[in-house]
Amino acid sequence: MVNRRFTLPILAALPLAGFCSVAHANVFERSQNGNLVEISQPAWQTDRSPAGGGRYTPKAQPASEPSPSQNVVRQHIQATAARYGVDRNLLDAVAWQESRYNPRAISTAGAMGVMQLMPGTARQLGVRNPHDVEQNVAGGTAYLRQQLERFGNNVPLALAAYNAGPGAVLKYGGIPPYRETQNYVRQIMRRLSATSADRTGY
């Protein structure tokens, strides 16, 4: 996500200053020997124009250390979506775009886990271990739900806020003119369209 500063109440009771979900960065996972290895990136990774922040660079081989299977991660996504009243296909698409469901994903800006939460965001949302799938997905879902509520359940605007921050959406009165954010919203909406015909399971 774009590293922008703003203040936002979370879960109707927690005022936050300097709250930000994730930041422009390459995304890595930590291998068994402690080294960071760049992992697969979202489909729009080839767009490296400075106008969007240049968040991603080319793919590299993933680390060999095993991680929870995608099915396990998606089971957490499904359960959390139901708990927070967020469409599970939307949440699934965000998790895929952010990290390819990788709980060990780490960005160069410090964003972590399946939903790519920044450390400050994770703390404010009560996420003690950002690499724990259940905690990370719950935190990201709470934040996404807040954006949906803030922007009248307008999914593209909520996605733009998740990526660039609600302040940027309010400033521009819509999806900000950041190439990364526009591509981010486009890719997720495209993924939702592809899955809309089959919403009965994974």
Q: What is the chain's alpha carbon radius of gyration, rounded to the nearest angstrom?
A: 16
Question: What residue spans define the domains of the chain?
Answer: 22-195
Q: Residue 30's pLDDT is what?
A: 56
Whether the pLDDT of residue 132 is over 80: the answer is yes
Q: Which residues are catalytic?
A: 98
The hierarchical CATH code for the domain 22-195 is 1.10.530.10
Q: Residue 107's pLDDT is what?
A: 85
Section 26-46 average pLDDT: 48
Q: What is the pLDDT of residues 85-118, one digit of tens each?
A: 999 999 999 999 999 999 999 988 888 999 999 8
CA-CA-CA-CA torsion sign (187, 147, 161, 131): negative
Burial-class residue 184 by CB neighbours within 10 Å (0-12, 13-18, 19+): buried
Q: What is the pLDDT of residues 38-73, one digit of tens each?
A: 554 443 232 333 333 333 322 333 444 446 789 999
This prediction's pTM? 0.69
